Structures are given as structure tokens and as C-alpha cells.
Chain A
Amino acid sequence: MALLEIRSLSKVYQRDSQAIPVFEDIDLDIDTGEFLVLMGPSGSGKTTLLNLIAGLDEPTTGTITVGGEEVTAMSRRQLAAWRSDHVGFIFQLYNLLPVLTAYQNVELPLLLTHLSKKERREHVMTALEVVGLSDRADHFPRQLSGGQEQRVAIGRAIVSDPTLILADEPTGDLDAKSADEILTLMQRLNREFSKTILLVTHDQRAAERGEAIMHLDKGVLTR
């Protein structure tokens, strides 16, 4: 049984009386430990699919199941708790809280757990070590480069040891060198720590780091 199962998924946006379909009747399976890259042109619905998997948006029809739990049947409250336990999200624009240090940003998901302050500290320092920023723990986002900010964001995404890491164009705002470092880090997370990753990108070089590539174009998902 796949870790992520998507069945007959459709998403249609409604603008006034006009229905705008994004995709229809999509099926997708991702196994535990897989590093899948989802490619497609702008506006093809890649981010929408990612949001649906994370329970940040509601599908028009279809089901999404992660680890045997049907995400599409959960209430808002259940979804929040589920995301906290199972999903690590990496954004294109890092989305760190500017008023918190790198350490505090990484610690955010752990505030929702029952871990003690000492335990949280151990987890945060481990995550910062994995992303190579343990010496930048007290730096604020404005004191870091774009690549470093994204590494903090990855630290935040992995600190609670989630089932699934969803990355939305994580290298889209970075220079080539930084992008390469981030992709190497993500490969390491997959290979060394067996993390299941779904990476959305339209960058072919980024896509080549994944184990498998799928294309989403004009509402159709293909291998």
C-alpha cells in the first residue's frame, strides 16, 4: 500500500458564475521513502495539488489518503493536528517569521507537541545540524542569505520528523549554487533519512535530483 494515495481528484475554482477547472480525475500513488518530482508549466495546478495533499485546500471531488488516513474527510481542526504530525512544508519564498531567530523558526512546529523545552532544544539543534546551520541558530532571517533561509525552512519542515515533505519550488528564488545546495540537502534527506518527498518544480535540473518525475499539464498527470 502506497504512503500517499490520490483517487479521482478534481479541483474546479468558481469565479462568479464561471467554473475554472484546474485538473480532473487525477490518480497518484507515492510510496514511503520515494522522492517524486512533479513538473509542469505555470498555472498547471502543481501548487494546488500540493495544497490539497497538505489539507490546505478542499478538492471538488476525489479522495486523498496519507498513511491510511483520509485527509479529504477531516475537519479543519483534525487537519491542523494532522499537518502538525505528518507534513513538512517547504515554500518557494521560505516564509520564515522575520521576528524569530533561525532556532525559534525551526522550533515553531515543536511548540504544538508535548515535548519539554530541553527536548525541543535537542530536536531543533539536530535539525539545524542536518541543514548545516547550527552555527547560525541565533541569526534572524534578515541576517541570512537566501540559501541559508531556505535551509532554515527545511530544518523547520523536518524538525518534527514528518511522514511527508512537500516542497513547492524550493529553489525558485535561489541562485544556481544555492539551489544546488538545497537540492543536495533534499536528496540527502531522502537517501540518508528515508524521507518521502514530493517536490514541485518547473526547473529541469531540480527535477533530475528526484527518483521519478511526473508531469501535470492541462489537467492531465503523466509519468
Chain B
Amino acid sequence: MKYARLIWVNLTRNKRRTILTALSVAAALFLFVSLRSVVTALEDAGEVGSETRMITRNAISIAFLLPEAYYSRLVAVPGVKSVTWAAWFGGVYRDPRDWFASLAIKADSYLPMYPEFIIPAEQRQAFMAEHTAAIVGSGLMERFGWRLGQTVNLRSTIFAPDQEWPFTIRAVYEPSEPAVGDEWFLFHWEYLYENTGGRMTPGWYVLQIEDPALAASVARSVDDQFRNSRAATRTETERAFQTSFLTMWGNVGMLINVIGMAVFFAILLVAANAMMMAARERTSEVAVLKTLGFGDRLLSTLVLVEAAAISVAGGLLGVLGAKLFFDGTEFQGAGFLPGFEVKWVTIAIGMAIAVVLGLVSGLLPAWQATRLPVAGTLRRAA
């Protein structure tokens, strides 16, 4: 503690440089925490799927549909208890930026299979009774300021983009856990079918199986059945499906990690450069301190603590800033990242990175302080 003042005065002797260095660390840590939280949100979303639900989709891509005739054959597969289907609607409200996850569902079989959508009984009844009714997540209701009973017009990015689709909100659901997401928009499959001229077929089937242990045999049995048909299938557990669906545009985790590493090294160089400049300006002072009896270990520790202090201050600003920002804006990635949150473990990782970054950035100036030739430095300063 007795050296705290010495560290403090060195930190504050060039306030602008210290603040800018800390801000660069803060920006890097804000970015890291944001990216890391995207990864954890994706991982959590992959964990949400039930172990007794399987998804059968077109083997080529989920963008290709499946024939409706498959339904009767899927129901007959041993181990399958019930079958439902859904299709991606790609709905937007007012502006293409107001995007959210919207599905046309075969409601009478779909809703019993998804108890994680908690809907009041009377609202469920109202939804089932009306052709153009919709079930909307509480988060989406809040986002657009919608009310129960309100009619909202959506456009589809897939089906007749110029056409407006009126929906009446008859039910609002609460997710059983945050990772389920509270920004889904669900409506009747029949409404989509009729408005597409009866040409619409299921986007994917959901199979409720009797026992999770049967997943492999059910998947094999389904995919073998359709192997040589015009729409070969790929059947997998819902968790595997969720993960592949969320990461269909690439290996998100790896991409984010690579960006994170690049940011880390860029900021490391910035911080190290700032520390080098600070140390270079003080070489004669270090020589004086050595003359007074300050040892190499103490001097290098002071330099390292100074570097770590800048980095930790910037890190705290970055990670807590990210926490406050994302909590405050209730960011959900437009419904694509349900349950997105900056977790405390992510904050802890961010702070650990800040400490490491600080120490590494201070290593070279600390080493130089220990190697400083006192007599030569004092002679040059005189």
C-alpha cells in the first residue's frame, strides 16, 4: 500500500494517454464480452430443445420444403408418438429492420408438443378458434407496444413480399425459461396455406418420440424411408437442429473467437506501446530510484501493477458497460438470440483477459527497468 501513491502519480502524470489507453482496452473488452455473449446465447439456445423431440427437414437445406404426404408415413415410424409441422414465415413489421422469428404452425398438434410456451387457457382457446389469430411472445408485444386483440399487418420476406398479412393477436405467451425467447410470433398453418394458393408444404416436421434412447433408430428409420424420394430427409434431435439452424451461416464460435483474438492482440500492442512510452519518459527517474536503493524486483512490480491498473480500469469499464448496455436495451438479436445476456462468468473471463493484457503489456517496460544501466542513464540525463 505504501507504494500506491507512487503508482497513482505515475498513472495520472499523463492523464490523456492513460485515459485513451484505458478506453482502448474498454472498447476491446466491450467487443469481446458482446461477441462472447452471442456465443453463449447460441449455446444456450442449442440446449433448449427437448430430448424427446426430433426434427425432420429436407436433407439439402432447411430452405427446401418437404411434401405434406410425409406426415402419414412419419406417424407410422416405430417409436414416434406424435408428429406436427411448421414453416418459416420470415415476417417483418412496418420496416424490414423490424424483423423477428415468425412461424406458421400446425397448432392443434404443435402447441401440445411445446409446453415451454406458457399460454393462459382462455387465450389459447381464442387463438384456436380464429383463422387469422396469432400467439405473440411477451417481449415482442413490449417491443412494438402491441395489445391483446390488436390486428397487426406483417409482410413476409419469403411469400408475396408486397402483400400485407393481417393477424389478430389472441394470445400472449411467456417462455418457461429465458433461452426459449419471448419474441416468437406463431400463427395457423392453414392461414399460410390458403394465402399461398394451396401450394405451401411443411418446412420441417417435429416428431415426438417415446424415449430419448430411440432417437438414433428413429432418425435412421425416417431418413432411410425417404433416401431415394424427391425430397430426402435429415432427421436429428431438436438440440442438434437448433444449433445447426442458428449457425447455418458458418462456424459462429470460431469466427467470433478469431475476431476476439485479433482484437486482443491489437489492443495488446496499443497498451504495450503506451506503457513503453510512459517508461521511456521516466528512465532517469528509474535510475534515481535505483540509486536510492529500489531493487529490480520492486521496480518491475511497480511497472507491472501500473500497466495492470490501466488495463483493469479499462476492462471494468468495458465489461460493465456491456452488461449495463445489453441489460438496459434488453437485446435479443431481433429474436434470433433468445435469452441473450452478458453472464457474470463472461464478465469474469473478460476481467481475467484485462489482467493478463495489462501484465503482458507491462512485461517489456518492466524488464527494461531492471536492465537500465544507472550510471549511464544518470550521465546522459546530466
Contacts and interface: CB of A to CB of B under 8 A. Distances in A.
A81 B298 CA distance: 11
A8 interface: no
A99 B9 contact: yes
Contact of A97 (B2, B12, B285, B378): B285
Contact of A112 (B9, B294, B379): B294
Interface stretch (A32-40, A48-56, A124-132, A182-190): A48-56
Contacts of B378: 51, 56, 91, 95
Interface in A44-67: 47-48, 51, 54, 56-57
Contact of B291 (A54, A81, A92, A112): A54
B284 interface: yes
Contact of A83 (B285, B292, B298, B382): B292
Majority SS at the chain B contact face: helix
- From B291, B295, B375, B379, residue with most partner A Cβ within 10 Å: B291
Contacts of A89: 291-292
Given A80-B294, A85-B293, A156-B292, A95 B284 contact: yes
Nearest to B377: A56
A142 to B, nearest CB: 13
B144 interface: no
Interface residues of A, number: 30
6 contacts: A83-B292, A84-B294, A89-B292, A93-B381, A100-B6, A156-B292
A80 B292 CA distance: 8
B293 A80 contact: yes
Interface residues of B, number: 27
A81 B295 CA distance: 7
A118 interface: no
Interface string A104-124: 100011011000010000000
A15 interface: no
A77 interface: yes
Nearest to A99: B9
Interface of A: 47-48, 51, 54, 56-57, 76-77, 80-85, 87, 89, 91-93, 95, 97, 99-100, 104, 108-109, 111-112, 117, 156
Given A77-B296, A92-B382, A99-B13, A108 B289 contact: yes
Contacts of B374: 51, 56-57
A51 B290 CA distance: 12
A5 B359 CA distance: 44
A87 B288 CA distance: 13
B5 interface: yes
Contacts of B3: 111
A196 B327 CA distance: 68
A84 B298 CA distance: 13
B2 to A, nearest CB: 5
Contacts of A76: 295-296
10 A-B pairs with least C-beta separation:
A84-B293, A80-B295, A57-B375, A99-B9, A83-B293, A51-B375, A56-B374, A95-B288, A56-B375, A99-B13
A38 to B, nearest CB: 16
B3 to A, nearest CB: 6
